[in-house]
Chains A and B, each alone.
Chain A
Amino acid sequence: MATKEEYPLKKVCIICAKGTIEDVYAALIMANGAVMEGIEAKLFFTFFGLDAITIKQMNKLHTGTVGNPALRMPGGLPFPTLLGMLPGVEAGVSFMMKSQMEKLDVPPVKEFLEMIVAGGGEIYACKMAADMFKIEKEDLTEEVIDIITVGQFYEMAGGQGTQIIFI
């Protein structure tokens, strides 16, 4: 009979490559949830995920209202893609998402990053994406430790009980 051994999770390395509210928050909640459980967490933002740590953009994240089949109107009817194209609709839906989260005590992005750092989590930006979007260290929020290469990221991802999660 095969024996099953379980090793506790010791470290998570979370990569966030998207800049929508739901993708960024998925990464933040997972990282914060890890440090709350005593699990080491490293967050690496790349491509459009950089918006979450860029001072000018981090408080203006949106949820896409076009091409999102899971998006529904209040009440449960499907959200028509054509409606999502109208000016202001995406901003309205995004505002609603944020206010719903606030009710659950989910903080704004900047405060969430502070919480993760307070728990010992580390935040990094991807060098290639930063070069591509012409982003410098001073454009990024102070919680970001550094802009690093993928190789440096992998160097941090060693050790038994480590998982890499891509969002």
Chain B
Amino acid sequence: MADKVIAGITVNVNAEGYFEDPSQWNKEMAIEMAREYDIELTDKHFEILKYLREKYLAGEQLTIRKVGNSGITDIKGLYQLFPGGPLKISSRLAGIPKPASCI
């Protein structure tokens, strides 16, 4: 566990940069973290981040299949929004832990 200043606020993140406490997250932090991946966050991105946060806080296991069936985007769209790690990067930007799923 480490402290990191994101968008002017100190938050707790783990060694890989995932939030320890999802309640510390806000949208500005997502925008700042997204720059590390050269992603400019759009409304579509935020819809996904919101969906991930809701599902995570409801205790559901997240998979790309689930996000693909969410009605927000399909799986191809998800890869285009978060290139190189559709579930991993989106989870980090959503301020939730790294997904512990193989699918």
Contacts and interface: CB of A to CB of B under 8 A. Distances in A.
Interface of A: 29, 32-33, 35-38, 104-107, 111, 114-115, 118-120
Given A29-B102, A36-B85, A36-B88, A105 B65 contact: yes
Given A36-B64, A105-B63, A106-B103, A118 B88 contact: no
Given A119-B75, A120-B79, A33 B86 contact: no
Contact of B85 (A38, A104, A115): A38
Nearest to A30: B102
Nearest to B61: A105
B74 A118 contact: yes
A105 B87 CA distance: 15
Contact of B79 (A107, A114, A119): A119
Contacts of A111: 65
B85 A37 contact: yes
B72 to A, nearest CB: 15
Contacts of A104: 61, 103
Nearest to A37: B85
Interface string B4-28: 0000000000000000000000000
Which interface class (under 10, 10 to 19, 20 to 34, 35 or more) fits B?
Answer: 10 to 19
B63 A118 contact: no
A37 B88 contact: yes
Contacts of B64: 36, 115, 119
Given A118-B76, A119-B75, 6 more contacts: A36-B88, A104-B103, A105-B61, A105-B101, A107-B103, A114-B75
A48 B5 CA distance: 54
28 contacts: A29-B102, A32-B103, A36-B64, A36-B86, A36-B87, A36-B88, A37-B85, A38-B83, A38-B84, A38-B85, A104-B61, A105-B61, A105-B63, A105-B65, A105-B66, A106-B103, A107-B103, A111-B65, A114-B75, A115-B68, A115-B75, A118-B76, A118-B79, A119-B64, A119-B75, A119-B76, A119-B86, A120-B79
